[in-house]
Amino acid sequence: MEDLEVELERARDLDVSELADAIETIGFECTRCGACCKSEEDDPHTATVFPDEVRNLQATGSDGEADERDWRDVARPMPYGLDEDGAGETFEWALQTDSCGDCTFYEEDEDGTGSCSVHGSRPLICQTYPFSVALGGTSQPMGEAVDEAGMVRAHECEGLGRDISREDAESLASALKERAVRELEEAIDVRDSYEPANPGPGETVVHDSEGAKRPDGSTVGE
């Protein structure tokens, strides 16, 4: 894999118009099925959220008004690398889940139509699903690509192949570029600031772009 700094420059040079062309070629319309917000079989919903996005969601109420949530109401340690009790060291944060393993912000009507209670403040990974950019160091949510056009990869979603307006394609493309840049910036910052935390038995440490944190978002060592 190429150096992360090289990939970051590639991400910054992405042409939004070309990304929008690719999205139009693939096609997409959200059907509000909720599949991207819910657990899959025995695997809880896992979506990366950046530290500043956690803070934004902490202050965003379900009705769009000002609110204040605990860090743990919004995010949980990314489970990868932790033991079965959730202890150890891991990198980055995942959106918090409910008792069913669904995203804590997911709501569903009686007819099965899904919605996001913080839609206007949702993280970039949610704004851009089911698409990702074919760059090293950026994530590919929900498995391998099922379709692709140019630099854009599409992941499993029943809304693929549907007509999308140019305006919506460009909006999605802009968010997709922003996410690609942010993911690489975060990866570089995590790499540069990482120092083994050596957590004790039952302890969890999350390394993000701001340093080492406890599950409640507080900084280790403070």
Residue type at position 42: D
Distance between CA atoms of residues 166 and 108, nearest Å: 29
pLDDT, one tens digit per residue, over 8-30 is: 999 999 999 999 999 999 999 99
Q: Where are the domains of the chain?
A: 4-213
pTM given for the model: 0.90
Percent of the chain with pLDDT over 70: 94
**Average pLDDT in the 27-54 region?**
92
Q: Nearest CA to 158 among 96, 102, 99, 112?
A: 112
* Cβ-proximal residues to 74 (8 Å cutoff; 6+ apart), any chain: 49, 54, 57, 58, 95, 96, 104
Tell me what the pLDDT averaged over the chain comes to. Answer: 91
Q: For residue 185, what are the contacts with CB-CB under 8 A and spacing of at least 6?
A: 8, 209
pLDDT at 152: 96
**pLDDT over threshold 70, residue 87:** yes
